[in-house]
C-alpha cells in the first residue's frame, strides 16, 4: 500500500501544484501589500480546494457516505417467483475498422459478476440495459450479456435492451418490462450509483429491490492517505460525478 501511495506522490502535477499553492499562500500572507497579497484569501481558497481534491482520504470518505445506505447484501433465500434482474451497464465503445470494440472497466466487470452471482442465488432472468454504439449495431448491454452467458447463464435467462444511453433512459425504456413482470425485480449497479438509480426509479414509479455491487470505499487507516497525490482526484471525481448527477436529474425532473 505504501509503495502505491509513494508512486502517486512522485507523479507530476497534483502534489506539486498543492505545494506551489502552499508556498504562494504563505508568501501572500507575509507580503500583504503586494498584488498577490491582496488576493491572499483567494489563494488560500485555491490551496484548500486543491488539497482536499487531491487527498485520497477526502474522496474516499465522500464515496463512503454515498455508498453507506447500500452495503453488500447478506445471503438471500432461493426465489420461487422467477425474479427479474435488471443490470445497468457501463463501458466504452470504440470504432475498430468496420465494426466496434466494447471495453469494460472495473465497474463493468463488477456489475456482470454481481448480476451473475445474484442469478446463481435466486434464479430468474437477467436483463442488461443500455450502452449503444452511435449506429446502434453494438452495445455494452450485448457485450455484458455475452459475458454472463460465458459464465454459465443459459441463453433463455438473458435479455438485452440496447437503446438507452443514460440512467434515466435505462429505467424509462425498461419500465414496461418491469411492470409486466409478476415477481420481484432486482436492480444491479455500482453502490455509488445506486442512490441516483433508485431516485429515477422512484420518479418513474418503478418498484425495484437494490442489489449494490462494486463498492469503491476502502479503509484507509494510514496517515499518508491524507497527503495530496495523483490518485486523489480520481476518487473525488467519482464522488462529484454522482453528487452533481443526482442534482441535475432532480432539476430536470428525472429523479425524486
- How many angstroms separate the CA atoms of 135 and 157, rounded? 27
Say whether both 88 and 207 belong to one domain: yes
How far, in Å, CA of 45 to CA of 39, rounded? 10
Report d(CA 191, CA 246) in Å as an integer.
Answer: 14
Q: How confident is the model at residue 14, as a pLDDT?
A: 65
Same domain membership, residue 237 and residue 191: no
Cβ atoms of residues 191 and 88 within 8 Å: no
Residue 48 falls within a domain, yes or no?
Answer: yes
The pLDDT, as a whole number, for residue 1 is 46
> Would you say residue 126 lies in a domain?
yes
In a domain, 19, yes or no: yes
The answer as to whether 219 is a domain residue is no
Q: Do 114 and 209 belong to one domain? A: yes
Number of domains in the chain: 2
Question: Is 104 in the same domain as 192?
Answer: yes
Statement to judge: residues 89 and 206 lie in one domain = yes
Q: Given this model, what pLDDT does residue 117 score? A: 93
Claim to verify: residue 206 and residue 106 sit in the same structural domain: yes
| Contact by Cβ (8 Å): 170, 164 | yes
Q: Domain containing 102 — which CATH number? A: 3.40.50.620
| pLDDT for the residue 226 | 77
Rg (CA), the chain: 22
H, E, C per residue of the chain:
CHHHHHHHHHCCCHHHHHHHHHHHHHHHHHCCCCHHHHCHHHHHHHHHHHHHHCCHHHHHHHHHHHHCCCCCCCCCCCCCCCCEEEEECCCEEEEECCEEEEECCHHHHHHHHHHHHHHHHHCCEEEEECCECCCCCCEHHHHHHHHHHHCCCCHHHEEEECCCCCHHHHHHHHHHHHHHCCCCEEEEEEHHHHHHHHHHHHHHCCCCEEEEECCCCCCCCCHHHHCCCCCHHHHHHHHHHHHHHHHHHHHHCCCC
Write out the three cell numbers for 110: 463488477
Residues 166 and 202 in one domain: yes
In a domain, 99, yes or no: yes
Give the pLDDT confidence score for residue 45 in this predicted structure: 87
Residue ranges making up the domain that contains 8 = 2-68+224-252
What the block records as the C-alpha cell of 68 is 453507506
pTM of the model as a whole: 0.83
Residue 148 sits in the same domain as residue 195: yes
Q: Look at residue 248 and tell me if it is in a domain.
A: yes
Looking at the fold, whether 22 and 140 belong to one and the same domain comes out as no
Extract the residue ranges of the chain whose pLDDT is less than 70: 1-14, 75-80
- Residue 78 falls within a domain, yes or no? no
| Residue 181 is assigned to a structural domain of this protein | yes
Amino acid at each position: 500500500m505504501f509503495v502505491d501511495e509513494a508512486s502517486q506522490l512522485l507523479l507530476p502535477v497534483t502534489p506539486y501544484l498543492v505545494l506551489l499553492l502552499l508556498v504562494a499562500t504563505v508568501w501572500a500572507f507575509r507580503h500583504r501589500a503586494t498584488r498577490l497579497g491582496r488576493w491572499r484569501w483567494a489563494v488560500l481558497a485555491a490551496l484548500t480546494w486543491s488539497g482536499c481534491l487531491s487527498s485520497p482520504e477526502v474522496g474516499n470518505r465522500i464515496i463512503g457516505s454515498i455508498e453507506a445506505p447500500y452495503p453488500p447484501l447478506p445471503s438471500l433465500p432461493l426465489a420461487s417467483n422467477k425474479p427479474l434482474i435488471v443490470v445497468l451497464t457501463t463501458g466504452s465503445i470504440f470504432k475498430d475498422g468496420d465494426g466496434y470494440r466494447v471495453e469494460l472497466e472495473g465497474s463493468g466487470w463488477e456489475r456482470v459478476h454481481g448480476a451473475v452471482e445474484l442469478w446463481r442465488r435466486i434464479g430468474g432472468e437477467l436483463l442488461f440495459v443500455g450502452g449503444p454504439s452511435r449506429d446502434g449495431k453494438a452495445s455494452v448491454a450485448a457485450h455484458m450479456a455475452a459475458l454472463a452467458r460465458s459464465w454459465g447463464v443459459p441463453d433463455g435467462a438473458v435479455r438485452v435492451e440496447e437503446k438507452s444511453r443514460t440512467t434515466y433512459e435505462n429505467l424509462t425504456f425498461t419500465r414496461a418490462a418491469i411492470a409486466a413482470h409478476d415477481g420481484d425485480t432486482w436492480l444491479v449497479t455500482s453502490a455509488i450509483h445506486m442512490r441516483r438509480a433508485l431516485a429515477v426509479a422512484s420518479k418513474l414509479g418503478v418498484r425495484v429491490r437494490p442489489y449494490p455491487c462494486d463498492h469503491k470505499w476502502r479503509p484507509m487507516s494510514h496517515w499518508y492517505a491524507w497527503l495530496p497525490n495523483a490518485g486523489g482526484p480520481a476518487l473525488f471525481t467519482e464522488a462529484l460525478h454522482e453528487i452533481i448527477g443526482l442534482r441535475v436529474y432532480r432539476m430536470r425532473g428525472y429523479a425524486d
